[in-house]
Structure 1
Amino acid sequence: MKKEHASFNPYDNNGGTCVAIAGADYCVIAADTRMSSGYNILTRDYSKVCKLADKCLLASSGFQADVKALQKVLGARHLIYQHQHNKQMSCPAMAQLLSNTLYYKRFFPYYAFNVLGGLDDEGKGVVYTYDAVGSYEKVGYSSQGSGSTLIMPFLDNQLKSPSPLLLPPQDAVTPLSEAEAVDLVKTTFVSAAERDIYTGDKLEIVILNADGIRREYMDLRKD
C-alpha cells in the first residue's frame, strides 16, 4: 500500500508520533523510535520518552535538538526543586513547570510538541497535552506529532471522552484496563505507520503504575 504524505509537514524535521492514555491506576505513554528529516531516516532506534520523575514521563515530537534542550532545562529545575523541598515534583506540578518553561520561550519557542503523563497524588493516571507555547489541558488521552491527525479520531471513537463543558465535570480517565490500553496503543501505531512516512520502525511503550515503570517494544513498518 502506498503511503500518503503532504508536500509540507510541520513535523518534517525529525518527526515522530507519541500517544498517552490515562487510566484509573496507570498511565501508558508510547512513541515510535524513528527519527527522520524529510525522506531521510537518521536513526531507527531513538527513544522519544523521557523520565522526568518517578511518577512523571514526557513524550515529545518535533525538532529533537529543541526537545533535548527542553528536557535539560526541566531536569535542572527539577533538581533545584528536590534540593529545596527534599522530595520529587508531583506530576501536576511538573505539568505546570513544563507550561511555564514553554511560555517563557514563546517568542522563540521550542519546536517541540509534548504529551506529559503519570500518576497524581492519589495514584490516578493523568495526561496533559501541550502546544508549542505552553497552553495545556488535562485530558484522558492525547496524541502529538506527525501521526496525531490519524490517531486522534480513532482514539475519540474508541474512548468517547466526555466534553469538558459538561456539568458537573466528568472524570478524564479512560475506562480501559491497563492491558486494553496497551493493546489500543499498539493498534493505533500500526494504523498510523501505514499512512505516515515519519512514523515507523519500532514502538516503545512505557507503562507507569503503582509498581513502577516497565517498557514494552513492538516492531512497526520499516519502509
Structure 2
Amino acid sequence: MLSHATSCPVQAPVEHRFSPYTDNGGTTLAIAGDDFCVIAGDTRQSEGYNINTRYAPKVFQLSNGAVLATGGMYADAVTLMKRLEQRLEWYRHQHEKEMSCGALAQMLSTILYHKRFFPYYVWNTLGGLDEEGHGAVYSYDPVGNYEKHKWNCSGSAGHLIQPFLDNQIGFKHQLANATSLTIPQVLKITKDAFTSATERDIYTGDYLELFVVTKEGITKEKFELKKD
C-alpha cells in the first residue's frame, strides 16, 4: 500500500505541437483577356492581428510574357521564387531564349510536386500569354495540381472576390451576353474588387500592384488601398 507521501494525483498527458508553417495573408488575382493578362496582388504581410510590413510584394515578373502571383507563407514564397529564377536562368543560358508561359506553367507544377511530402505552403497563380498570343491564367494547389482558367482569385479575400469576378468577367447570372473586356475595364474591375475586399478582410490592404502582360511587354501600376 502506497503511503500518502508517495501518492500523487493523475495528470493528463500534455501534447506538444510544432508547425513549421504560418499564413501571412493577402490576396492575388489574375484575369485573361483576348490578347492580354492582368495579374494583381496586395502588399500587406500579416500574422494573426499583427502587420509585419505594409510592403511585401506578392506578384513577380518571371519572363517577358509571364508573371507569378504567390501568397500564403512568405518565407516559402521567397524560396520558391529563388528556385524558379535559378531554373529560368539555366534555361536562358541553354536555349538562348525566354521560356514560354505554357512551359513555365508545367515547370512550376513539377517543382511543386517534387516537394509534395513537405510542400511549399503557398498558393500560386501564373498569368501571361500562351503560344497563340491569348491571355492565360494557371492556378495551383500547394502540391502542383494546376488548371487553366480565364480568371482566378486566391488568398484571404479570395472567397469575397471570386463571385464578383464570376459575375463581372464571366457574366454569370446576367442577362447580358458575354463580351470581350478591354484592359482599362479589367483594371477598373480589379481595383474595385480589392477596394471592396479591404473593407471586410483585415489581411488584405495597403497597396495593390497590377501587372499587365501584352505582346508589347509588361507594364506595372501601383494603387493605394485601405491601410487600417
TM-score class, shorter: 0.7 to 0.9
4+ long deviations beyond 4 Å: none
TM superposition shift of 1:121: 2.2
In 2: Cα distance, 1:144 partner to 1:53 partner? 22
3-state SS in 1 of match to 2:199: helix
Kindly provide the CA deviation profile for residues 86-139 of structure 1, in whole angstroms up to 9, marking residues without a partner as x.
Answer: 111100000000111111101100011000001122221111011111110000
TM superposition shift of 1:176: 1.0
Give the equivalent residue in structure 1 for 2:73: 63
Aligned residue runs from structure 1 range 90-101, under 5 A: 90-101=100-111
Q: Which range moved further: 50-59 or 205-214? A: 205-214
Give the equivalent residue in structure 2 for 1:198: 203
Q: 1:30 aligns with which of 40, 54, 57?
A: 40
Maintained 8 Å contact 1:140/1:161: no
Q: Please tell me whether Structure 1 or Structure 2 has the larger radius of gyration of its CA atoms.
A: 2
Aligned residue runs from structure 1 range 119-130, under 5 A: 119-130=129-140
Maintained 8 Å contact 1:201/1:220: yes
Q: 2:143 aligns with which of 133, 136, 139?
A: 133
Residue type at the aligned position of 1:115: T
TM superposition shift of 1:161: 7.2
Give the equivalent residue in structure 2 for 1:115: 125
Q: 2:161 aligns with which of 151, 155, 167?
A: 151
Are positions 1:216 and 2:221 aligned together?
yes
TM-score (norm 1): 0.87
Residue type at the aligned position of 1:222: K
TM superposition shift of 1:152: 0.6
Q: Which range moved further: 46-55 or 152-161? A: 152-161
TM superposition shift of 1:80: 1.4
In 1: Cα distance, 2:198 partner to 2:47 partner? 16
3-state SS in 2 of match to 1:185: helix
Q: 2:88 aligns with which of 70, 78, 85?
A: 78
Kindly provide the CA deviation profile for residues 141-174 of structure 1, in whole angstroms up to 9, marking residues without a partner as x.
Answer: 0011111011111111222279xxxxxxxxxxx8
Question: RMSD of the TM alignment (CA)?
Answer: 1.7
TM-score (norm 2): 0.85
User: Paired residues, what number?
Assistant: 203
Give the equivalent residue in structure 2 for 1:184: 189
In 1: Cα distance, 2:119 partner to 2:171 partner? 30
Kindly provide the CA deviation profile for residues 167-209 of structure 1, in whole angstroms up to 9, marking residues without a partner as x.
Answer: xxxxxxx821111110110111011111111001111111111
TM superposition shift of 1:13: 2.4
In 2: Cα distance, 1:190 partner to 1:76 partner? 35
Give the equivalent residue in structure 2 for 1:44: 54
